[in-house]
Structure 1
């Protein structure tokens, strides 16, 4: 069955359901990443306390400085990858093939960066959501057809 993209008001396209699932998976992954960064801010003092208990010979000022740097890095990365996910997901939903590829690349880079840092359950949820989004925009036949047809 051949799916034909049709322009609707505002320049959007009527994307197939699998593309809409992919879109919302990427949006949810962006939101989960931001929630993780906010939770990191909230639990920063507990991170410092547990680090000091695990190794009391460390300098408390260095631990605080490292924790602050780590929390800010987490927030910056969450905003960066979240904005990339949202921007490219909107473009992907509109049928742009390059946006689909760029979204996949952003997801892979985010996965690699996530592996380099301690992973929480919230991060794993975000990774699973982006994996669902990537699979939904590449594997089903309707997704392939959607991105091969010209608008």
Structure 2
């Protein structure tokens, strides 16, 4: 795989230092295909990750969030296989998995629910007030008041 340099893009941008890392992460060819999952936008600032985890019990799944990376792991409890069963087709892949997704800095995990073999994780974009769009007045300088020590 060839390396792509994004240096020319950085000349006209400010604060996109992590963009290069994100681009490299997206270009990796080892994207997981198990378990299948959806990422849904269910509102202006609401998202949902839905993961198909057929055959897993709720206590066999774990969700962790660290440094804006959400990691969902599934580890089936070791059960003695039934040696009297002969599979003609075994299509339910009840194997361990680890799925990691990078979240934007203002995305927060709200809740997680597990029903009917689907793990649903609700996310919400919460933008701090200082990051909301605002109009910058032209020609007005902000006055800074500096408290000078009072002479006695």
Q: TM-score, normalised by structure 1?
A: 0.28
Choose between structure 1 and 2: higher helix proportion: 1
Q: TM-score, normalised by structure 2?
A: 0.28
Q: Which has the higher contact order (CA 8 A, sep 6+)?
A: 1
Choose between structure 1 and 2: higher strand proportion: 2
Q: Give the number of the structure whose alpha-carbon radius of gyration is greater.
A: 2
